[in-house]
Amino acid sequence: MPQMRLDELLEELQARINAARGTRDRVHSLLEAVVSVGRELDLSQVLRRIVEAGAQLVDAQYGALGVIGPDGRTLSQFLTSGMTQEQRERIGPLPAGHGLLGELIRHPEPLRLSELGSHRASFGFPAHHPPMRTFLGVPIRIRDEVFGNLYLTDKRDGLDFDAEDESVITTLAVAAGVAIDNARLYESSQRQHRWLRAGAEVTNHLLSGDTRQDVLELIARRAAEITGAGLAELSAPVPGTDTLAVELSVGDDGLQGRSVPLDGTLAGAASAAGTHVVSACLGKDPRFLADPHLAEGPGPAVAVPLGTAAGADVLLLVRAVGEPVFTEAELEPLLAFAGQTALALELAVRRRDAEHVALLEDRDRIARDLHDLAIQRLFATGMTLQSAARLIEHTGAAERVTRAVDDLDETIKIIRSTIFGLRARDDGAGTSLRARASRTVGDAVTSLGFPPRLSMEGLLDTDVPLDVAEHVVAALGELLSNTVRHAHATRVEVSLKATADEVRLTVSDNGRGIPEQSRRSGLANLAERAHQVGGALEMSTPDGGGSRLLWRAPLRWAGPAPYAPADEGRPALFPGARRTARSSQPTAAGTEYG
């Protein structure tokens, strides 16, 4: 009997020693888990470690962490542990926080169940979901905010989760809340730093004289990178219409070059209201049924106006389906970036306007000096030579002096044409063939992806009749459009030249050429346009491949009289001088665009 009593005491002592050792090991594991969770600063890694540590501490087969969304009623993220990727794919969409998972959202208190299917809030499992019986759920708090819930199911030994398990997981949840808060603060500071750096980069590029298109692309790319958006678009209101034009798109599903309505679109709502508009899932948002992005099934989105007034340009950012919605913590630096960008763009416009005014003033000075000094001296020289020619008895010498007088007459006309070109304004593009051709080539840069090379020679603004100039500009636009659609070229050269008797427009590229059996409706239109003014369209292939199209039209034909600026249409500068045919060589220095 004493021996049995001694054995019982030894067994009880051994059990208590084992329990103490188990408690010690569990406390040690808990401390290791807390350190492991707190070591990370990347929020996604912190959440992943919390799930794995929780399942390991209570020996649960499955674990999950649900992050509560901004509405406070559903889950915006759901991380799992214990399931393979194949199992997750077979189950389908992750839970949104209804049923038993939503019970902890509605009542953020620890919950233990011996049979989770028997709870009144349980809706059962979807197809292909592994069976689960025991359940332990604990809320994760950050100060007074419930960040999410930690769910654990099926203890491996087949027993129920006990009070000790609940205590351990509750302690882990407290440490997890601190680790999540630290990770969020670190993430916020890093994001703020990236936004500040992006804003400074945009400002530097604007002040360095980069084109608006390049700066807009930089804005869209940086915004997409920082927010993790799969699509970034910049749109501008079209004056006099109820539409927005998509100026630039970064992403596979962009609508660059298309127009979208103001009504029924996220970008339109932001532009009309002058404030940002957020959608938790653009593809399911009933407010934006007219949005053309809906066909692609987009996810969370935000539209931010670049400015505070209604009718401003809009930056649209769209994430993929299943990605987290845009939170207030993300929107604050994004709005600051949009405001800084709008200010930088406005300052750049003002700076360009000031530079343009200075350029025009300089052009006026040059034109005035040419008119008051150079032309008068040439005129006096011509009059002197003309008088001297009457005194020359040698026939050959007299003819040479007469030709020199004619050359001076042509030189004065060229200078006057140059003066007219210098004084041409953008609002006078209708009367300046040079300006209209430059603008047409410039408009093609976005579609081509690179600037074409443009050279212009001759008296384009004085000798080319107005109606012929209209055909030249239209033909240039059509030729460049055909190059964009069909040539797949990496180099395009445009030459516009006015000779003594015709205007010649040549567009060459290094693309794939014009197939013999291809449809040529566009070329037929160009040929017909040339025929209407007595000209022709010629096609050839350069030595290096590609295509060369020459559109030409005569300057003198049976149509309207040629257009002449204020300085033209006067009598000959030197009365009595013999007019000679002009040289077919270029009479004015060529200019290049690009």
- State residue 586's pLDDT score: 33
For 384-432, give the DSSP string.
Answer: HHHHHHTT---HHHHHHHHHHHHHHHHHHHHHHHHHHHHH--GGGGGG-
SS3 12: helix
pLDDT of residue 520: 57
pLDDT digits (tens, 9 = 90+) for 311-337: 788 999 998 887 888 888 888 888 888
Position 49 scores a pLDDT of: 83
Cα-Cα-Cα-Cα dihedral of 526, 530, 532, 533, to 10°? 150
Residues 6+ positions from 343 with CB-CB distance below 8 Å:
none
- Mapping DSSP onto H, E and C, the string for 388-401 reads HHCCCCCHHHHHHH
DSSP states of 333-366: HHHHHHHHHHHHHHHHHHHHHHHHHHHHHHHHHH
What distances in angstroms separate CA 97 from CA 64, 66, 101, 102, 127, one per listed residue?
A: 12, 8, 5, 5, 17
The strands making up 453-457's β-sheet, listed across from edge to edge, are: 536-540, 547-554, 502-509, 492-498, 453-457, 591-593
The whole-number pLDDT of residue 303 equals 92
Work out the end-to-end distance of the chain between its first and last CA atoms, rounded to an integer number of angstroms.
108
* 38 touches 130 (CB < 8 A): no
Give me the DSSP letters along 527-584. Answer: HHHHHHTT-EEEEE--TTSSEEEEEEEESS-SSSPPP--TTSSPPPSSTTPPP-PPPS
The dihedral through the CA atoms of 223, 227, 228, 229 has a sign that is: negative
Q: What is the pLDDT along the chain (594 residues), one digit of tens a residue?
A: 455 565 565 565 555 555 555 555 555 566 666 666 666 677 788 888 888 888 888 888 898 888 887 767 777 778 888 888 888 888 877 777 777 787 888 888 898 888 887 787 777 777 878 888 889 989 888 877 888 888 889 888 788 888 888 888 888 888 888 888 888 788 888 888 888 888 888 888 877 777 777 888 888 888 888 888 888 888 888 887 888 888 888 876 567 767 888 888 898 898 888 889 999 888 888 888 888 777 667 888 999 998 777 778 899 999 888 788 888 888 888 888 888 888 877 777 777 777 777 777 777 777 777 777 777 777 788 888 878 877 887 888 888 888 888 887 777 777 766 666 665 544 444 457 888 888 888 888 877 888 888 888 888 877 888 888 888 988 898 898 888 888 888 889 999 998 888 999 999 999 888 776 555 556 888 888 888 888 999 988 888 788 999 999 998 765 533 333 333 333 333 333 333 333 333 333 333 223
pLDDT of residue 9: 55
**Whole-angstrom distance, CA of residue 237 vs CA of residue 257:** 13
* pLDDT score, position 584: 33
What per-residue confidence (pLDDT) applies to 507?
Answer: 93
Kind and range of the H or E run holding 591: strand 591-593
Tell me the three state secondary structure of residue 472. helix
* Residue in this structure with the two tokens 């990605």, named with its chain if needed: 323
One-letter identity of residue 353: D
Q: Report pLDDT for 506.
A: 94
pLDDT given for residue 422 in this prediction: 62
CA gap 278, 270 in Å, rounded: 9
3-state secondary structure of 104: helix
What is the biggest distance separating any 2 CA atoms in the chain, rounded to whole angstroms?
161
> Closest Cα partner for 337 from 176, 468, 219?
219
Please enumerate in sequence order all residues whose Cβ is within 8 A of that of 523, keeping only pairs 6 or more positions apart, or say none.
482, 514, 537, 539, 549
Q: Which residue spans within 49-120 are E strands per DSSP?
A: 60-68, 75-81, 111-113
Which of 289, 341, 353, 334 has the alpha carbon at shortest distance from 313?
341
Rounded CA-CA distance 461/431 in Å is 7
Say what angle helices 163-207 and 43-57 make with each other, to 10 degrees: 170
Q: In whole angstroms, what separates CA 422 from the centre of its chain? A: 35
